[in-house]
Amino acid sequence: MSDANMPSCLDKFDVMMPPYLRIADALRDDIRNLPIGERLPGEPALAARWGVARATVGKAVSKLVDEGLLVRRQGAGTFVSEPPLKRQPQSLSSFSQSVAREGGRAGQVLIAAHASRTARVQGTTGGAAGFVLERLRTVDGEPIAFFSSVLPLWVVDRAGLDLRVLSDDAFSLYARLSLMGLSPTRAEETAMARLANTREARLLALRRPAAVMDIRRRTYGPDDELLEVVDAVYAGDRYQFATQWAQEPGTGETIDAH
């Protein structure tokens, strides 16, 4: 982005709005027309252009980083980022399906895959011993999420989840389960925002402190059998949780619109 494309003052904006928000709004409009990966001018240059303190520009840029529109790369600058991955919570779809819907290419890096006596599958009879599956999920080669799953051993056997299958870069657990007659039929999940721990920050290439979205899901298949318990940790600046709600006519009750 050249300085020639940047407004030189804030006069046309709402004077009641804090300067950093006015700058953020202007930058937001500008970067929507820029290609992904475009580098923004440095904060000193932006501050001079807007006639404000560098700290004010830094606050505006930080807001857009938090929104997932920009990404800071240490020692390189600030760049227009990939649009965040969007997922509709009402649809029971896999990570790979969600990425494909957004026009991306889903991938994975296998971190761990082994049976464990200590990893119990809560919700199964007696809390059966489970199979630990840890994967780093990527979009177009960039790390987006870390999945830590526990599966009942019978699911692993029936689905033929050996190391050859699990190591495939394009592996999709839901697709494999469906192929082997174990199509997921429903799921229960909770979501919470928190700070990344040291391991998560390293795997997701985050600079601590960094926010993540932690999605915990229990997936069920035919005959309501538990198939998987997963803790999916998404980089906060690369994930968007989208939903719509509507008022049901004549009842006063709110229902989802999907």
Q: Are 255 and 245 in contact (CB under 8 A)?
A: yes
What are the structure tokens assigned to 154, written together?
């019978």
What domains appear along the chain, each with residue ranges and CATH number?
3-80 (1.10.10.10), 85-241 (3.40.1410.10)
pLDDT at 186 over 70: yes
The tens digit of pLDDT for each residue in 145-154 reads 999 999 999 9
Joined together, the tokens standing for residue 104 give 């991306």
Mean pLDDT is lowest, of 66-75, 136-145, 204-213, for 66-75
pLDDT confidence band for 244 (50 / 70 / 90) = low
> What is the C-alpha to C-alpha distance for residues 151 and 128, in angstroms, rounded to an integer?
10
pLDDT of 248: 55
Per the CB < 8 A criterion, the answer to whether 107 and 138 are in contact is yes
Strand blocks (E) in the chain: 70-73, 77-80, 85-87, 106-120, 129-139, 142-152, 186-195, 211-220, 226-235, 239-241, 245-247, 254-256
Reported pTM: 0.61
